Amino acid sequence: MAEVGVHEAKTQFSKLLRRVELGEEIVITRNKQVVAKLSPPDEVPIRRFGTGAGQIVVHGDFDEPLPDELFDALR
């Protein structure tokens, strides 16, 4: 587990996040006292295509022009 000071964590945050994405845990210290820990999430959810099938309905007129009165009200 790597240890970095607050100043380094602030200036190198993007690099630290890349290391965390690769599975590394990083402890952030202030005056040699641990104040935070960056770690990867316990579980990364897997997105699967089609899991919401049947929950969302897109009507056939979805991309039709709006009625004039509604269009004018939105301007």
The 3-state DSSP composition of the chain as helix, strand, coil percent (nearest 5) reads: 30, 20, 50
Cα 64 to Cα 56, 61, 69, distances in angstroms: 18, 5, 14
The two most distant CA atoms of the chain are separated, in Å, by: 66
pTM of the full structure: 0.56
pLDDT of residue 75: 84
What is the pairing mode between strands 2-5 and 26-30?
Answer: parallel
Q: Where are the domains of the chain?
A: 1-41
CATH architecture of 1-41: 3-Layer(aba) Sandwich (3.40)
- Between CA 6 and CA 72 the distance in angstroms is 54
User: What's the pLDDT tens digit per position in 11-69?
Assistant: 999 999 999 999 999 999 999 999 999 999 888 677 888 888 888 888 899 999 989 99
